[in-house]
A and B are shown apart, each in its own frame.
Chain A
Amino acid sequence: MRKETKHDLPIHIILLLLGILTFYPFVFTIVTSFKDNFQFIHNFWGVTWPIHLSNYKDAWSRISRYILNSGIVTTSSVFGVLLVASVSAFTFARFDFPGKDLLFFAILSLLMIPGILTLVPSFLLVKRLGLLNTYWALILPYISGGQVFAIFILRSFIASLPEELFESARVDGASTLQTFFSIAIPLSKPILVTVAIMNILGTWNDYVWPLVTIPDGRLWTITVGIVSFSSQYSGLEMWGPMFAGYVIASIPLIVLFFFTMRYFIAGLTSGALKA
């Protein structure tokens, strides 16, 4: 097992300090979710009484119909990204072929175009493909966009895996695909989880794209529902239900995080090297 470091207490102190500062916005969200508008205006920071559980009832009434949409869109997109990106990242990482760097850069460069410039052309494209008001209008662009980041991150990770592992598998007669599934993927679990989390957050919280590509509002995602609690007129927003909506929306995410964190286990490589 790993060597124990002698001084753990200073580590705990620093980490706890960082943790408290980092966790505060989440606490703020929860506290605010129980306030009514007037409490929020008069008291920005503190806990106020009475608490308004009805905010959750209000938030639920507006976003419950969208939860399934968010679930479907996010899950499909994340699976799609992981699938497509890991294959491509593997290819870039472990093979050499003409134009490899060029193709890789061609993919990476897509991250460098500011989003507002591509909004209208992307929208018109999706419309022309007849995908408006369907889940595909969201899922396909999310997979396509999300894979760019994912390929970039996964590639560097897979490239740093030791060559011996692949050699020995090939010597044993494994095909490319088999080395992919039995070596590359298992060893990349922590980074795959990271990519999954990034994509989950990105698609779950995305607001503008579902707003514009689902004109009939039926397949809107949860975030669009939550934003409807704000207002263009100051004083007419509904902060309490909005924050309650944020809390409700974060529950599936937190559950997902707990679930995926199990894969973030140390010592994964120890087993592989000994094989």
Chain B
Amino acid sequence: MYRRESKTVWQEIIKRKQCYILLLPTFLLLLTFNYYPAISAIYHSLFDWDGANFIRYIGLGNFTNMFQDPTIPLSFLNTLKLTIASLIINLTFPLLAAVLIFHLKDMKYAYFYRVLFVIPMVVPGMVVFMIWRFIYNPTSGLLNQLLISMGLSQLTRPWLGDFDLALYAVIFVGFPWVAGTSTLIYLAGLQAIPIEILDAVSIDGASTWTRFWKIELPLIAAQIKLIVILTLIGAIQGFVNIMVMTNGGPGETTMVPGLYLYRNAMYYNKMGYACAIGTFLFLIILILTYINFKYLKSSVEYQA
């Protein structure tokens, strides 16, 4: 890495001007297409706004309303559960699949499995939701029929309508969670491990488990951290799966902030309030991501 040699910040900036020039294309695009709408959203959280022509400055009014709104704590609790579940899911099954493929001795099979897990990604989300809704169907769904045929009819539930289990039913959708970019990212990380290290380890006669736990896992720590952050960002804001599967129900047991925000924006004429919820989510994600970024910095050096 380059060391700081100059004395003042300005001198440093001029010295490194090449870096800023390289970043120019990115920032030009972002400033035009992303920052303006994002700042507009955050800005409007200070207003009572119907999304069209009625607008009135109310300062932090939306935020005080938020803290008195009974739907908010409930939805955030759900998001917490969803996020933890998503983290667990994204750190296990895709990782398992990637490691297994990586350990295959025949390249031909590795190629086959990689293809097998990538092709399902073309299936649109709606189809997956449709299938799972039918699996969970309380009357004629696959899951209940299966339980009945196994003699376990007392375990049948109205899954997506179960006031306690609905959220977990939604979490389980997409099992086994292998077709996705998480698997590919883990694989890419594993394949970037220099051959010398793997050869050295196997010469030392280490078992597969030791090799995985002590060498491979730490060396893809960067990818793991990546997936943690991406999962956080996605799970905290996400709501499409909830909207399609339960629409926040039964009752309000699967409500999440993202869905509540959507409703306020599209149906209740409370765009300002929606922006406030969105800003609040943004701040939470920002803080969590920052913590993750700074304090779980993965080491880049390794012994050659």
Contact = CB atoms under 8 A, between A and B. Distances in A.
B165 interface: no
A116 interface: yes
A112 B222 contact: no
Interface string B36-67: 11101110000000010000000000000000
A194 B198 contact: no
A141 interface: yes
Contacts of A63: none
Chain B interface residue bracket vs A: 35 or more
Contacts of B104: 5, 8, 11
Nearest to B99: A11
Given A107-B30, A201-B122, A246-B127, A264 B225 contact: no
Given A25-B127, A85-B26, A264 B192 contact: no
A266 B191 contact: yes
Contacts of B262: 114, 116
Contact of B101 (A15, A120, A163, A273): A15
Given A85-B26, A163-B1, A264-B114, A246 B120 contact: no
B105 A8 contact: yes
Contacts of A122: 33, 37
Contacts of A257: 115, 118-119
Contacts of B105: 2, 4-5, 8
A193 B185 CA distance: 10
Given A113-B278, A141-B33, A144-B34, A25 B120 contact: yes
A58 to B, nearest CB: 18
Given A18-B176, A111-B233, A26 B122 contact: yes
Interface string A208-235: 0000000000000001000000000000
Contact of A84 (B26, B119, B198, B237): B26
B181 A21 contact: no
Contacts of B266: 116
Interface in B169-221: 175-176, 178-179, 181, 184-185, 187-189, 191-196, 198-199, 202, 208
B100 A15 contact: yes
Contacts of B278: 113-114, 117
Interface residues of A, number: 96
Contact of B25 (A8, A87, A159, A201): A87
B235 to A, nearest CB: 12
A163 to B, nearest CB: 7
Contacts of A198: 181
Interface string A185-205: 001001101100110010001
B29 A144 contact: yes
25 contacts: A8-B106, A22-B120, A25-B128, A88-B26, A90-B22, A94-B1, A97-B12, A97-B20, A110-B35, A113-B42, A117-B41, A122-B37, A144-B30, A144-B32, A147-B29, A148-B34, A149-B230, A157-B188, A160-B222, A197-B184, A201-B121, A250-B122, A261-B115, A261-B118, A270-B196
Given A19-B116, A23-B119, A144-B30, 6 more contacts: A118-B34, A120-B51, A122-B37, A157-B223, A159-B300, A194-B184
Interface of B: 1-4, 9, 12-13, 16, 18-20, 22-23, 25-27, 29-30, 32-38, 40-42, 51, 93, 96-97, 100-101, 103-107, 109-111, 113-125, 127-128, 131, 134, 142, 175-176, 178-179, 181, 184-185, 187-189, 191-196, 198-199, 202, 208, 222-223, 225-226, 229-230, 233, 237, 258, 261-262, 265-266, 274-275, 278, 281-282, 285-286, 289-290, 293, 298, 300, 304
